Each structure stands twice: as structure tokens, then as C-alpha cells.
Structure 1
Amino acid sequence: MISVRQTTGPDGLIGASTGDLRDKFLVQDLFVEGEFRGTYLADDRIVVAGVVPGDHDIEPSGLDVLGTDLLLERRELGVVNLAEPGDVIVDGTPYRLGPLDGLYVGRGSKVSFRGKGARFYLVSATAHETHPTVLIARDSVAPVSIVDELGAGGRTLYRYVWGGGHGSCQLQFGVTVLDLKSVWNTLPPHRHSRRTEVYLYTGLGPDHRVVHLLGEPNNTRHLIVAEEEVVIAPSWSLHMGAGTAPYSFVWAMAGENTDYTDLEPVKISDLR
């Protein structure tokens, strides 16, 4: 099953209630055992999905929204496993993903998912060219350490597909892990005027939350985000967040280009 999500322009935040913001910018309930659940985002036509195989192999289903028989008929795919090891089967070849390992799958491939205890997070973008499938173990990626000695934003960035290294058509994704005593992510905040970004928060546990900021710098709003929930950050919106406990997040982008450093920083002093 794939649902459809329309967000809004920046003027839509004026007067929006908490419920309005959650309905438009927060994707919940993607992970249900034995199911493939997805949401089609009007922003850059991204699809986010969760797959929890349980005792049986699962294939993508409910693809009427895409107008195709295969999920990747005209798309590419990034996968990150959030839990126990499991397999992503690509054109008959299994790829074993451990916790926070990634997989890039090129356009035209057929995929299915296997592994009791695995929880696969999927991000898919449209593609007009084909790149080879590659397994990207987190431990194989050179970490980028972001040091924040005077604040609380120390974190380690793992870039899986990011405009350097393995190629893609327009998809970029990776994982960021916060330092033990840090709470802030994406500090200072920024925007991507040429692409949409989506954040999935994980590692929080059931009793903790992330306060995620969105909106224009002079009109910020917030969402209270739980484990395995996804925030949509349109091209006009900044993004940053702070958690009540240690956490990680999977970030993914798609849009006009794949220049990872092509972002627009926002000064903390400009936030309202």
C-alpha cells in the first residue's frame, strides 16, 4: 500500500494548527510486521516506505499510485536497515544488511525483503539513468566527525550516496549518529532550495522524542517526532532538531542536483 502526501508552500504554515503540521509534514506508521507500507510525497516525487518481513518474504505492493508494475521501473532506491540483520533480494541476489547498513539499488531492478527482526527503511526517487546496485556497510564508510565542544551538536556523519563515490541519478542518503552527550542535529540549520530532504529518526526508544524545527527562518514551527517517524523538509524549509535522548537519523534527498555541499546555511540569530 502506498498513500499520497501533499505538503504546502511556506504561506501554508501561517495559522496552521499542530494537527495541520503533522498531517502535512510528518509520516507515521510505516513499520508494520508482514507489510510493505509507503507514502508518495508530492515534493520531488519521493517515496518513503517501511518493510518488516517477519516470517515471510515481502515484495513492494500497492503500486497503482506510481502507474508501474515494479517499484523501480522508473526509479532508484536507497535502503537502510534499522534493526536485526536481514536480506534485500535484488534480481535474485541477496544482500545482507546489518543495523544501519545501506544499499543502493539502480533503476529497473526487482526487489524483495527477508529477515525476521529486520526493519527496512526505503527512500526512492525518480531516475532517468541506471546505476549499479551496491551494498554500503556503515563500517565501510569513512566517517565525518562534526565536533561541537562548546555546544551539544557533536555527531558523526556517514555519507552512503552523496554526489561523491558511488553514482546515482538524483538520490542521496546516509546516516548521522549523535555523540552520547549531544542532542542537536543539523546545527546550524540550513535549506536545500534545489531539492527535498526527508529525515527518519531512530534509536530513540518509546519514551523519548525529537523536537524538529521546520519552516522559513523568520517563521519557524516545530513537530514532536517519535521513533521511526519521518519528517518532510521541502526545498523552502530549514531543518534542525533536538532530542530528549541519544538518537540517530537517516537523511535522504532528491531533486534538481546531487551536489552535497550545495546548501544554504541559516544563522541561528536569524531564527524567529
Structure 2
Amino acid sequence: MEIRHSSHPADVKQYDTAKLRQHFLIEGLFRDDKITTVYTHEDRVIIGGAIPLNKTLTLETEAALKTEYFIERREAGFMNIGGEATIEVDGERYELGKLDTLYVGKGARQIKLSSREAGNPAKIYFVSSLAHAVYPTRKVSVREANTMNLGSIETSNERTIHQIIHENGVQSCQLMMGVTLFKPGSVWNTMPAHLHDRRMEAYLYFDMKPDTRVFHFMGQPEETRHLVIANEQGVISPSWSIHSGAGTGSYAFIWAMAGENYTFKDMDVVGMDELK
């Protein structure tokens, strides 16, 4: 488990490209027969990925958690972006196709990840946040999500937001999670930009061609920075930072949030005249 500490916006103003990437970019999440995790002190969220290629992988606790098992005091959302996956939670099996999501509530002792076919392995992305209440484990497909169509082709941001773990969907303690898909020709996500001061957010960009990149914009509205992101890389967005991006080609992204509030619309929109 890699540990990332919180950063103050006044300090981030001084970061060069290498330091920005070191603190906020997540690379190498998906490795064959390995579970990779990053613990960020931004709302104590854990971001992880796995490719269970030739064996079943068990999500073990980490020394940093000081718990008997991984989600003893947590909840987690697992989304599959690869071939058919199986997730076993305390002996109960759940089959996940591409973009299917499994919410696992606080207190599940054993979580196992596997692929249906080694020739087309699953790629399982997950986000875990602290939890103080227990909600039932539940699988949901992207077709069952609460769906919003936003943007337009004229502004290059016509997109469909699938809210999955959410106040109007799968119930959780504080975790929210979903996926955004784009109409052909649209490249901008989350623009106009916004802030939500009482929760952090994490993105995973995926379904990108090898030579496609997303220019992800972050920082305070009056002091923006950017990261150049490749396929299946993630980004940590602190509560004080905008989070928006534009791709050189088609892409999709998973978003997940955790923090004090639990309302998707609780945000402060940043006007285009405020961005610098």
C-alpha cells in the first residue's frame, strides 16, 4: 500500500510537474495477479486496482489500517472495466460484466477477486472510504444506474453520467461512485468546473487508445495546474481543487467521492471568468 499525504493549496502552487505527478497521479494500478492500493489522507480514501489473471486474489488488510480485515471499519465500491469478473464476499459470489459495480458494506471479512477467463481477464477498480454504519452488499449494472444526460455537442461535452453508489441508487455510508461516458466528438468532462469543499474526489480514466491522453486540470480556480494522464491512470482531487479534463481522443472515467456530505448537487460552480 502506497501512502499519500494531504497537500496545502499554498504549497501546491510551488510544485513542478514531477511533484504534481508524485502527489496526485496514480500509475500502475492494474498488474497481473496483484492487488495495488493507494491510501490518501484526503478523507482517508483507498484507491485500488487488480487483474486476477491466473489466480484468485484476496483483499488482505494492511499494516497501515490497524484492523483485522480490510473493511472492518470501511465500505467499498468495486467496478469491473475488463472481462467477466467474480467477486466473492464472505462466501457469496457475484458475477460482474463490464461496468457492473459491487458495493460491499462495512464489516465484510473476506473479499476474493477472480476472472472468468484468463484469456480475457477482469480489471477490477475499487474505492474504499471510512464507514460508521452498515449497508447491505449489492450488485448493480450500469443499466440500473440513475442516469443524467448533460452538456452538448456544441460545447464538446455531451455526456451521460451514471450514478451508481449514490443517494438515489445503491445506499452507502459516505461513498459515492459512478461512471461518465461520452458521445462521439465530445472531449470535455466536468466543465464548467466546480468545487465541493466537504469531500474529496478520485478519477480513473480508461477505455483510451495507447496514444490518447487526457489533460486533467486541477488546483484552485485562480491558480490552475494540469496533469497529462494515460489510459487506466487515476488522479486524486483534494476538496480545494477543481477536477476537469479534456481528451485528445475518446475516453471514459469513473468518479468516486467521500467526505462529510452525501448530496451530489452540493457543489460550488466555478464561472469561466474565474479560471486562471
Classify the TM-score, shorter chain.
over 0.9
- The one-character-per-residue Cα deviations of 1:76-95 (angstroms, maximum 9, x if unpaired) are 00011011111111111111
1:234 maps to which residue? 238
Work out the CA distance in 1 between the residues paired with 2:229 and 2:239. 20
2:111 maps to which residue? 111
Work out the CA distance in 1 between the residues paired with 2:169 and 2:84. 25
2:101 maps to which residue? 102
Identity of aligned residues (%): 38
Could you tell me whether the CA contact under 8 Å between 1:34 and 1:54 is conserved in 2? Answer: yes
2:255 maps to which residue? 251
- Residue 55 of structure 1: how far off its partner (Å): 1.3
* Aligned residue identity for 2:101: G
Could you tell me whether the CA contact under 8 Å between 2:9 and 2:240 is conserved in 1? Answer: yes
Could you tell me whether the CA contact under 8 Å between 1:36 and 1:61 is conserved in 2? Answer: no
* Aligned residue identity for 1:114: S
- Residue 9 of structure 1: how far off its partner (Å): 1.1
Structure 1: segments with no counterpart, 5+ residues:
none
Secondary structure of 1:65 counterpart: helix
Work out the CA distance in 2 between the residues paired with 1:142 and 1:233. 23
- Residue 32 of structure 1: how far off its partner (Å): 0.5
1:221 maps to which residue? 225
Secondary structure of 1:150 counterpart: helix
Work out the CA distance in 2 between the residues paired with 1:167 and 1:142. 12
Structure 2: segments with no counterpart, 5+ residues:
none
1:211 aligned to which of 205, 209, 215: 215
Work out the CA distance in 1 between the residues paired with 2:169 and 2:59. 28
Q: How is 1:1-272 mapped onto 2 (pairs within 5 angstroms)? A: 2-61=1-60, 63-109=62-108, 110-115=110-115, 116=118, 117-272=121-276
Could you tell me whether the CA contact under 8 Å between 1:31 and 1:37 is conserved in 2? Answer: yes
Could you tell me whether the CA contact under 8 Å between 2:61 and 2:68 is conserved in 1? Answer: no
- Residue 142 of structure 1: how far off its partner (Å): 3.9
* Aligned residue identity for 2:114: R
Q: TM-score, normalised by structure 2?
A: 0.96
* Aligned residue identity for 1:23: Q
Secondary structure of 1:23 counterpart: helix
- The one-character-per-residue Cα deviations of 1:134-163 (angstroms, maximum 9, x if unpaired) are 111012224211131421001000000122
- Residue 126 of structure 1: how far off its partner (Å): 0.6
Could you tell me whether the CA contact under 8 Å between 2:215 and 2:245 is conserved in 1? Answer: yes
Secondary structure of 2:155 counterpart: coil
- Residue 178 of structure 1: how far off its partner (Å): 1.2
* Aligned residue identity for 1:125: S
Moved more, 54-63 or 24-33: 54-63
Work out the CA distance in 2 between the residues paired with 1:45 and 1:83. 27
* Cα distance change, pair 170–142 in 1 and its aligned pair in 2 (3 A): closer
- Residue 62 of structure 1: how far off its partner (Å): 5.7
Q: TM-score, normalised by structure 1?
A: 0.97
* Cα distance change, pair 226–7 in 1 and its aligned pair in 2 (3 A): farther
Could you tell me whether the CA contact under 8 Å between 2:196 and 2:268 is conserved in 1? Answer: yes
Work out the CA distance in 2 between the residues paired with 1:120 and 1:86. 8
